[in-house]
């Protein structure tokens, strides 16, 4: 059985910079604030970081599973993101619905309920990180709270700079970021992914320069890892038990220079289509893993 180092950090204060801006969670129906509903998770996460948590959220249970900041117990579940319960959404009576280009097909129906704030955050071959950073200010402006956006952008940049200082000793080697599907196939995160942008923000480089497909990851066979003998291998997320057992006895895997040299680092389940809070969490998890504290 292969043993990959790394363990999820507690969420403790790893996003203290983001949460400090919010000043703690505001009541969902705060006086004078907009009542929000979100069908897009990156939008929901950003609104929460700004201190404007949505009153209703699509796929609430799934969101909570890997959430950097937990929604209020009073948050209403709207059902599927791509097909939200419009009756429930109407009953929420939001002032604003937070969406993205993923859900453009249902936007006309959403607009019959309330104004929609939407952005194309994840577009193939376009870096996502600058867009989610800019979203902090854009959404804050739309919510009438521009100061929160400016504070959170400054706090996030400061946090990334701190992480870059800690990551500097590891900058000589590029990082190959991937998810394992089974013991013979993986998906590599490209330069248009959130994780690659966060990697760059902490002063590290993505070893993968090739094209990606949907999900901003390129499906490749395990053999392609042999093309990166000098890289650090960063395994993101849960590894299926069968895949983990298979890797332990896989001659190819065990012959890879990064594996033999102990340059394999494992990160917990992280959201690839999220906002700056998740990008910061990725940075903290990666630096801790590189330092041997994961």
The mean-pLDDT minimum among 57-61, 108-112, 184-188, 195-199 falls in 184-188
* 185-189 β-sheet, strand order: 217-221, 185-189, 175-182, 232-236, 264-267
| Residue 271 pLDDT exceeds 70 | yes
pLDDT number for residue 137 = 98
Asked if residues 282 and 276 have their Cβ atoms less than 8 Å apart, the reply is: no
Query: Do the domains at 16-160 and 168-290 have one common CATH topology?
Result: yes
**Among the listed residues 269, 231, 247, the one whose alpha carbon sits nearest the alpha carbon of residue 4:** 247
Residue 63 and residue 25: Cα distance in Å, rounded?
A: 17
Q: Which of the four pLDDT bands, split at 50, 70 and 90, describes residue 211?
A: confident
Q: What's the pLDDT tens digit per position in 281-293?
A: 999 999 999 999 6
Residues belonging to the chain? 294
pLDDT class for 215, splitting at 50, 70, 90?
Answer: low
Supply the mean pLDDT for the chain. 88
Q: What is the mean pLDDT of residues 181-193?
A: 87
pLDDT score of 216? 55
**What is the rounded average pLDDT of the residues 157-165?**
98
Is it the case that residue 114 has pLDDT exceeding 80?
Answer: yes
Burial of residue 57 (number of CB atoms within 10 Å: 0-12, 13-18, 19+) = buried
Percent of residues, the chain, with pLDDT higher than 90: 73
Confidence at residue 169, expressed as pLDDT on a 0 to 100 scale: 98
Query: In the chain, where are the structural domains located?
Result: 16-160, 168-290
Q: Quick one: pLDDT at residue 294?
A: 52
Q: Give the pLDDT score at 178.
A: 95
φ, ψ dihedrals at 20, nearest 5°: -65, -35
pLDDT reading at 25 higher than 90? no
As assigned by CATH, the class of the 168-290 domain is alpha beta
Q: Which pLDDT does position 241 carry in this prediction?
A: 86
d(CA 130, CA 132): 6
For residue 55, the 8-state DSSP code is S
- Structural tokens at position 245: 């057992």
- Measured CA to CA, the distance from residue 138 to residue 136 in angstroms comes to 6
Q: Please determine, for residue 4, whether its predicted confidence score (pLDDT) is greater than 50.
A: no
Contact 81, 58 (CB under 8 A): yes
Domain 16-160: which CATH number of 3.30.1330.80, 3.40.710.10, 3.40.50.1980, 3.90.380.10: 3.40.50.1980
pLDDT of res. 22 = 42
Q: What percent of the chain has pLDDT over 70?
A: 86
Mean pLDDT across 171-187: 90
Give me the pLDDT at residue 9, please. 41
């Amino acid at each position: 059985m292969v043993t990959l180092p790394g363990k999820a950090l507690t969420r403790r204060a790893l996003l203290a910079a983001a949460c400090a801006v919010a000043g703690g969670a505001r009541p969902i129906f705060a006086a004078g604030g907009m009542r929000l509903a979100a069908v897009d998770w990156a939008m929901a996460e950003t609104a929460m970081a700004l201190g404007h948590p949505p009153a209703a959220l699509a796929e609430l249970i799934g969101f909570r599973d890997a959430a950097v900041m937990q929604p209020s117990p009073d948050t209403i579940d709207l059902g599927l993101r791509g097909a939200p319960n419009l009756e429930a959404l109407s009953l929420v009576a939001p002032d604003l619905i937070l969406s993205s280009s993923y859900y453009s097909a249902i936007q006309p129906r959403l607009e019959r309920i309330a104004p929609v704030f939407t952005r194309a955050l994840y577009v193939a071959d376009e870096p996502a990180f600058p867009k989610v950073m800019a979203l902090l200010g854009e959404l804050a402006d739309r919510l009438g709270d521009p100061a929160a956006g400016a504070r959170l952008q400054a706090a996030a940049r400061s946090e990334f700079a701190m992480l870059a200082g800690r990551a500097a000793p590891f900058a000589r080697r590029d990082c190959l970021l991937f998810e394992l599907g089974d013991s013979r196939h993986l998906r590599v995160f490209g330069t248009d992914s959130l994780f690659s942008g966060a990697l760059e923000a902490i002063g590290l480089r993505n070893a993968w320069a090739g094209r990606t497909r949907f999900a901003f990851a390129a499906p490749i066979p395990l053999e392609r890892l042999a093309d990166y003998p000098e890289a650090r291998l960063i395994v993101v997320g849960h590894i299926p038990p069968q895949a983990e057992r298979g890797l332990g006895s896989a001659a190819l895997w065990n012959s890879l220079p990064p594996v033999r040299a102990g340059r394999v680092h494992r990160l917990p389940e992280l959201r690839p289509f999220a906002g700056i809070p998740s990008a910061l969490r990725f940075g903290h998890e990666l630096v801790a893993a590189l330092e041997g504290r994961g």
